[in-house]
Amino acid sequence: MAKVVIVGDGPGGLSAALFLAKNGHDVTVYGQDKTAMHYAHVYNYLGLPEIAGTEFQRIAREQVTGFGARIVEDEVTSVGVDNGITVTTEGGMDHADYLILTEGKNPVLAASLGLVDTEGAGVPVDSAYRSKLDRVYVVGRSVRPTRSQAIISAGAGAVAAVDILAREEGKDVQDWDTPPKEP
Ligand SMILES: Cc1cc2nc3c(=O)[nH]c(=O)nc-3n(C[C@H](O)[C@H](O)[C@H](O)COP(=O)(O)OP(=O)(O)OC[C@H]3O[C@@H](n4cnc5c(N)ncnc54)[C@H](O)[C@@H]3O)c2cc1C
């Protein structure tokens, strides 16, 4: 079981948390429920004809904690990678095997790790949302600040999570489920 810390509790962070917690990993999400989703009324999320952003977040947070992830309502004040991955909040320090940064439009922590090449241009990542630092991922609006949609952030969180699942398994992983059998 890997310990994964996710900074940010918008659609990107919560989607990553869902996939990882559902597959048995130890997941902590840091965030204070201040996502831009609270300003949104969403008609463009496939499968959800219409939903208030706040209701979307309420369901997502319940879904994630239902699979065993922790949501800690602290702001992360710094992150480090020199002696393993560390995350500092006002409440203390946390350690992780993997870090997923999903800070939204202002990726201050990613910048502090040297991951921002050009201010305002988005954090460069590969197709699995790996940053240039080993075991550090960046997803969501931080990667595409001027082309940000909830479904894209959620998809990016899922991509990063499945990449971590595959790294831990040592082979490709499909998180597929089938309908319950009729009694
Ligand atoms: C007015 C408005 C309307 C919108 N309407 C739509 C719409 O109709 N459809 C649509 O698809 N999208 C819409 N959006 C965009 C949508 O809200 C974003 O695409 C989405 O929220 C991005 O998700 P994210 O997870 O990447 O980042 P965010 O949702 O921004 O989440 C980042 C989270 O990280 C937290 N955070 C940052 N730093 C720290 C830290 N150091 N410690 C702890 N937590 C931290 C933030 O507080 C925030 O909660 C709208 C946005 C706005 C502003």
pLDDT (tens place) for every residue of the chain, 183 residues total: 999 999 999 999 999 999 999 999 999 999 999 999 999 999 999 999 999 999 999 999 999 999 999 999 999 999 999 989 999 998 899 999 999 999 999 999 999 999 998 888 899 999 999 999 999 999 999 999 999 999 999 999 999 999 999 999 999 999 999 999 988
CB-count exposure of residue 102 (10 Å: 0-12, 13-18, 19+): buried
**pTM for this entry:** 0.98
Mutational test site, ligand 1, from 149, 151, 152, 159, max ligand atoms within 8 Å of CB: 149
Ligand 1 pocket residue status of 16, Cβ below 6 Å: no
- Angstrom CA distances, 54 to 35, 71, 84, 105, 111, stand at 9, 16, 35, 18, 28
Q: Whose CA is nearest to atom 50 of ligand 1?
A: 40
50-69 burial, b at 16+ Cβ within 10 Å, e below that, comes to ebebeebbeebbebbbebeb
Residue 139 CA, distance from chain mean position = 7
Distance 34 CA to ligand 1 centre (A): 8
Distance 148 CA to ligand 1 centre (A): 8
Ligand 1 pocket residue status of 94, Cβ below 6 Å: no
58 contact partners, CB below 8 Å, separation of at least 6:
none
Ligand 1 pocket residue status of 57, Cβ below 6 Å: no
SS3 state at 53: helix
Q: Domain 3-169 class?
A: alpha beta
